[in-house]
Amino acid sequence: DTGVSQNPRHKITKRGQNVTFRCDPISEHNRLYWYRQTLGQGPEFLTYFQNEAQLEKSRLLSDRFSAERPKGSFSTLEIQRTEQGDSAMYLCASSSPPGRETQYFGPGTRLLVL
């Protein structure tokens, strides 16, 4: 399978705990994006990387959120001190170089904070 993969698919945690999600993009896609989707809404942009550089962060990305893409391949999204409002589907997408901006999404990680 050469699509975008995300792990874990589901995560249940208690308020105040830290969680980390992983995204593996389509190979050779140099752009990687994180979005968050709450129930009944469309996805909202969080941040994106071009290779290993994080080029844009949304105001939605509070200081409890951090994303990395250290080698320009896979990416991690960490949420520290989780809150119930963090419960959502976290989606990763990737795209190829400029001129082909179509973004392909992974299956998502559904987070539930109790």
- Chain residues binding another protein by CB under 8 A are 4, 6, 31, 33, 35, 40-45, 48, 55-56, 58, 91, 93, 101-108, 110
Min dist CB 95 to another protein, Å, is 8
Specify the residue, 76 or 80, whose C-beta has the smaller distance to another protein. 76
For 20, other C-beta atoms within 10 Å of its C-beta total: 15
CA–CA dist 84, 55 (Å, integer): 28
Specify the residue, 42 or 70, whose C-beta has the smaller distance to another protein. 42
Q: Write the CA distances from 9 to 45, 79, 91, integer angstroms.
A: 19, 16, 10
Q: In this structure, what token pair is assigned to residue 60?
A: 């939605």
Min dist CB 37 to another protein, Å, is 8
Specify the residue, 7 or 80, whose C-beta has the smaller distance to another protein. 7
Min dist CB 81 to another protein, Å, is 26
- CA atoms within a 13 Å half-sphere pointing along the CA-CB vector of 13: 23
